Amino acid sequence: MSNSIKIGKIAGIQIGVHWSWVFIFALITWSFAGGILEEYYPDWPSSRRWGVAVIVAVIFFVSILLHELSHSLVAKARGIEVIGITLFVFGGVSNLGREAESAGEEFQIAIVGPLTSLAIGAGFAILWVTLRGPAPEAAAIAGYLAFINGVIAAFNMLPGFPLDGGRVFRSIVWARNRNLLRATRVASKTGEFVAYGLMVGGAVQLLFNPIGGVWMFLIGMFLRNASASSYEQMVLQTTLEGLTAKEIARTDYVPVPPDMTMDHLVGQLMLVGRGRCYPVVAGEELLGLITLTDAQKLDREHWPTTSVYRAMTPFEKLQTVPPEESATAVLQLMSEKDVNQVPVVEGRRIVGIITRADILRLIQVRRAVAIEG
């Protein structure tokens, strides 16, 4: 996640805090100081209330960090590289080098988080019970932290992907049907369902608890986006996995010579349905790409006297890829640079052309086969 501040390393894992975390930190401090403490200790000076509330927020921060660390450490123990942990407004994310390779692996990595939160919550619950008599103030803090860790455990066990519970659910479906893509689809569907449930719950709660209601609604929205986009990414990864640029490139393109006029190009090729994008080639060397957009930029009266060489986008300005580039990287390049076609080249020799439409069609077919098969 970008915009995060690196605060250090634990067990070789980089810990970062996203700026949005400040918001939840403030919310916890404020709701604890203004809510629970004001209710139970109305005679406390406000400096004391706020001081205690900040300590609670820091312990909350550590609780979330321990939750994420548990995911990361189990992943590490299974040989998965852990790139880092980022804490942000809705909790934390562990950035793993790869997805789990088996249902069992995924189950273990996912379940350990809520179990950790549950254990921390249980620890604070014991503190709360033992401190209630001798130190009621400390007991109030322990009780709140027990509650909040319990909520974190319960929330994360909701069966919606990509929450921990959704991952546990996915691993169970995956173990049964042995089809990761289909399991992911099922788990992200329930994720959407859970997300809408949270949004409705948040809207209802608005009536008697505005902050809690807005919060729940926002979490629901976040989860809905997360489940949809993680499914899409999963689909891309699995469907394009192992394919290279050379394999997905089309080789039936129509090369045009540099001295062809624009008039000829439009009239004899574009208008008769031979496509809207042509490599300009001398021998086997790629000089540039000429597209319908280039033709439209030019006044029609200049078409008969302008060569494609003059109107094309020259090689130096093109996004190109080598044949061995991975298909996923090509798609990423296309969306980053907002281009619709990428020539595959060896040096300056053209090997093929990849268009966005071709990739999307390929994904569609492969997805259909992977899910039904």
Nearest residue to Zn ion, by Cβ distance, number only: 113
| Cα 357 to Cα 370: distance, rounded to the nearest angstrom | 20
The tally of CA atoms less than 13 A away on the side-chain side of residue 328 is 11
Strands 313-314 and 91-96: unpaired
Selected range binding Zn ion among 40-48, 154-162, 201-209, 224-232, rule: CB under 5 A: 154-162
Task: Report in angstroms how near the CB of residue 223 gets to Zn ion at its nearest.
Answer: 13
Which one among 164, 188, 190, 291 touches Zn ion, defined by CB under 5 A?
164
Task: Report in angstroms how near the CB of residue 71 gets to Zn ion at its nearest.
Answer: 5
Task: Report in angstroms how near the CB of residue 218 gets to Zn ion at its nearest.
Answer: 18
Task: Report in angstroms how near the CB of residue 230 gets to Zn ion at its nearest.
Answer: 14
| Cα 373 to Cα 369: distance, rounded to the nearest angstrom | 5
| Cα 163 to Cα 155: distance, rounded to the nearest angstrom | 8
| Cα 86 to Cα 160: distance, rounded to the nearest angstrom | 21
Task: Report in angstroms how near the CB of residue 234 gets to Zn ion at its nearest.
Answer: 18
Tokens of 334: 């296309």
| Cα 47 to Cα 173: distance, rounded to the nearest angstrom | 52
Q: How many residues bind Zn ion (CB under 5 A)?
A: 3
Residue type, 72: S
- Can you give the C-alpha Rg of the chain in angstroms? 28
Contacts (CB under 5 A) with Zn ion, residues 69-128: 113
Q: Is 160 in the site for Zn ion (CB under 5 A)?
A: no
Nearer to Zn ion, 113 or 220 (CB): 113
128 contacts 139 by C-beta, under 8 angstroms: yes
Selected range binding Zn ion among 124-132, 138-146, 161-169, 244-252, rule: CB under 5 A: 161-169
Nearer to Zn ion, 91 or 220 (CB): 91
Residues forming contacts to Zn ion in the complex (CB under 5 A) are 113, 156, 164
